[in-house]
Structure 1
């Protein structure tokens, strides 16, 4: 129900002002006792540009169809009368409102990534299709993330630059381990000190609480049941929502799955194997080219790669601007960034070739893209949020022997990421995190859940294929296999994947068992 609206007008500068409107569509569906005011709140939709937190956001949010709002949720669901947080929302409306089914709620993963721009890009990809005609695409920034308030903030831009340049984590000596662990503890302390609401926000940023926010969002959007699209870590949100509110699910596409039972050590090793598989695919592509930066001999490719990047450990390469230098960790981060999608392989090959010529700019740009650092040197809060969410979603690892074994296994799983130095037993930030974890991996109990669709890509480097197989089995859902080397697939241009996923979301038609796309 539309309860109030403002007409479009023009500002004193002559720029058009995006009209705002206030809607009240909830409460809808099941409403937990004591949360009525949250489930039945109104939303005021307006200009998205003030929600931009990066240069890319600023451009994306100028889409004339995009409207943004804030959703209020309790900071602590055990105390709904206490402090609150607001989530940033972005909606791209269904193009056939007369046949609108409801909202497709989207999360791009991370954890810690903003979902607002993803809604714009996904709706643009789906424009003209039945999916685009019949669903509003709604992206959200989870609590503490992006444009949501309060927002986590741990490191300054200068501190993040310094951290990337130092490569401290490569020193496995007792002194090196002590230094790294002191820095990791200091990171958590800074998150508490520099974040509004401090430890209270950190304690509530886990998946356990975010899925409760998603149920509030479902109701406020006017949907009796949730229709959801989750990528990567967004599949953990979907899995946990399905376990917490199985009867509130209409449909879910979970693409690029996290294995629900896998602990952090096994996940690390599996991801190493996934990135090695993608690196091998890249080198096979590269070897077919006369300009391959890694040479023409398959037996020498790995050594040639090591010869390029390992010298950066002792001699980071001067970028020639602002005193920045390409470190070993930045170079490997750049390679990892390029392995997420085949369309970046051309750039990676050129970046490695330039590195041979003492030109590190392309690799630094790839690393900056991974860390979401813009041209002015500003970082998004994605990396801060990533650590905060990971630390509260998993049991902390405090056993140095276990960490050492995990690092050794990781180097064996991903030889291209082996720095040639002894593995370090240094504990990460989660071992010193200032608040306890609120969940941990487990087999979900989803009795009453309708059929869901898991999409898993055979050459996915970040969320390996088998994790999707395992998630589909755990949820009793259907599995769509995409044969490619990239991270996630739905609404990214493959008609087989897009048609199957869209038919499921629109008509609830589950694809046939064993479906494969290429």
Structure 2
């Protein structure tokens, strides 16, 4: 049912990293923004109708009621966290209408406080609250945790924020994952499109209605974030965004350049790149990661892909394609072809996953799908209790509002063909299915479009880009740094995003920039 040409942009759950928003002490311009641009209509002056939102006082309390999973309940129960809800208008063009609530989690600064440090791990659809709750311990004693309140927020529609984007029940998710949609015939295309239309209808009915979905894109998230900045008492905002979080950061820079103190954007999306070009390049990035994994695995005579990396893709196809007709039983569940490929994609986000991936493919070769199914569960946000979070549903919804629409079946078929050529390891061999995806049936038109950011007066920014990043290829970071007039930290390695993960070469530069506004000169070279 769901289009799986593109992988999610967020970092994998086991390695999800923090995004930081800092506060300065210079004067802000509450509610002010750049003129109307490619990200949709932007406010031009302080609005009396928005004043009550900007002036609201947050009420902090226990985090238990904010947990949406068993894992969150355990993480949020740790001492030192408190939570609150920020009220924002669903539609900024009608602020007196329906309201939404943005959920926030905080750990207070342990030393002399500069301001707030907001976290967003990407996705779109990943929970910043969960991120901070799981990473705060690792940042204990760090310069950032001493100088900033650590704050994670769930963007509108995500996680604990309300209304919540919700399209499938747990049972429907299991059916969805078994539905491969690999039939390229006219009948197969018609069936897939009917399922995609039904998915869009379910999202509309279960997610606060068409009006909320129409205002769930990045254009509206950055408006929420500016209200959040003010409610937290920060006059200027500094932000570290990972992956999709770089889109939030660059869009905020365009809308509110005068309210920015510092931006660190890691694992960049190039805002001027078309959806089709980015999709093809991302697939090529995952093939590059698969090839690097295969070469590493081939050094072991027992590698399940063999000792010739040039044959690894063909071997993998031979192992996975039979699952299309004969999925493997894993207890009371099954490993489908889609799950096997998704599990591999999940493991390709970071080199640290490669040993687990080797075990998973070795298991597949002997009829054991347990590890690959667990990796796919991680990607889809399925907990040990069988409950799914809404990260994928939010990913689809936000993408529908952010990305260009493909309304022509021939163009969609051509995109699938190009994606399969770019990443043959994930090609099912049945031919490109030119079915229109769920966004073609969405109840609202996109509110963003590809463009070069225009952010006059934006202070210096820092972009981090990893040479072997599969989800957000290296060149996108180079291009974003150039577009924003920022500095680039170039990182040699094989993983998705790199900042604030314990690499001194990277983190020393990032910390000095965020805390002391020391702008790195020229291009910084680091290695993982």
Q: Answer yes or no: same fold by TM over 0.5.
A: yes
Q: Once structures 1 and 2 are overlaid, which stretch shifts more, 312-321 or 363-372?
A: 312-321
| Cα deviations by residue, 1:83-105 (Å, 9 ceiling, x for unpaired) | 11100001111110xx2110111
Structure 2 residue aligned with 1:19: none
Secondary structure of 1:43's counterpart equals coil
Between the aligned partners of 2:300 and 2:74, the Cα distance in structure 1 is 36
Q: 2:490 aligns with which of 481, 485, 499?
A: 481
Q: 1:66 aligns with which of 66, 77, 81?
A: 81
Between the aligned partners of 2:504 and 2:69, the Cα distance in structure 1 is 31
Pair 1:387-2:396 in alignment: yes
Structure 2 residue aligned with 1:351: 360
Give the deviation of 1:403 after TM superposition. Answer: 1.1
Pair 1:220-2:235 in alignment: no
Give the deviation of 1:493 after TM superposition. Answer: 1.8
Pair 1:374-2:390 in alignment: no
Give the deviation of 1:28 after TM superposition. Answer: 6.4
Is the Cα–Cα contact under 8 Å of residues 157 and 379 in structure 1 kept in the other structure?
Answer: yes
Give the deviation of 1:29 after TM superposition. Answer: 4.5
Give the deviation of 1:137 after TM superposition. Answer: 1.3
Between the aligned partners of 1:269 and 1:28, the Cα distance in structure 2 is 40
Taking the TM superposition and a 5 Å limit, the aligned residue runs for 1:89-100 are 89-96=104-111, 99-100=112-113
Between the aligned partners of 2:351 and 2:62, the Cα distance in structure 1 is 35
Between the aligned partners of 1:506 and 1:125, the Cα distance in structure 2 is 18
Is the Cα–Cα contact under 8 Å of residues 119 and 139 in structure 1 kept in the other structure?
Answer: yes
Secondary structure of 2:386's counterpart equals coil
Structure 1 residue aligned with 2:144: 131
Pair 1:463-2:476 in alignment: no
Pair 1:33-2:47 in alignment: yes
Secondary structure of 2:225's counterpart equals helix
Structure 1 residue aligned with 2:502: 493
Give the deviation of 1:496 after TM superposition. Answer: 1.2
Pair 1:45-2:56 in alignment: no
Structure 2 residue aligned with 1:88: 103
Structure 2 residue aligned with 1:3: none
Between the aligned partners of 1:105 and 1:360, the Cα distance in structure 2 is 38
Structure 1 residue aligned with 2:255: 244
Pair 1:264-2:275 in alignment: yes
| Cα deviations by residue, 1:406-449 (Å, 9 ceiling, x for unpaired) | 11111111111111121111111111111111111211101100
Pair 1:106-2:119 in alignment: yes
TM-score, normalised to structure 1's length?
0.92
Pair 1:160-2:151 in alignment: no
Structure 2 residue aligned with 1:403: 412
Pair 1:171-2:212 in alignment: no
Give the deviation of 1:121 after TM superposition. Answer: 3.8
| Cα deviations by residue, 1:384-406 (Å, 9 ceiling, x for unpaired) | 11111000112211011111111
Distance 1:296 1:395, change over 3 A: closer
Between the aligned partners of 1:270 and 1:290, the Cα distance in structure 2 is 32
Between the aligned partners of 1:444 and 1:298, the Cα distance in structure 2 is 41
Secondary structure of 1:252's counterpart equals strand
Pair 1:183-2:195 in alignment: yes
Structure 1 residue aligned with 2:325: 314
Structure 2 residue aligned with 1:254: 265
Q: Which has the higher contact order (CA 8 A, sep 6+)?
A: 2
Structure 1 residue aligned with 2:461: 452
Is the Cα–Cα contact under 8 Å of residues 117 and 148 in structure 2 kept in the other structure?
Answer: yes
Question: Any stretches of 5+ residues in structure 2 without a counterpart?
Answer: 1-24, 32-45
Superposition misfits of 4+ residues, deviation over 6 angstroms = none
Pair 1:55-2:87 in alignment: no
Between the aligned partners of 2:64 and 2:520, the Cα distance in structure 1 is 38
Between the aligned partners of 1:320 and 1:110, the Cα distance in structure 2 is 30
Is the Cα–Cα contact under 8 Å of residues 471 and 496 in structure 2 kept in the other structure?
Answer: yes
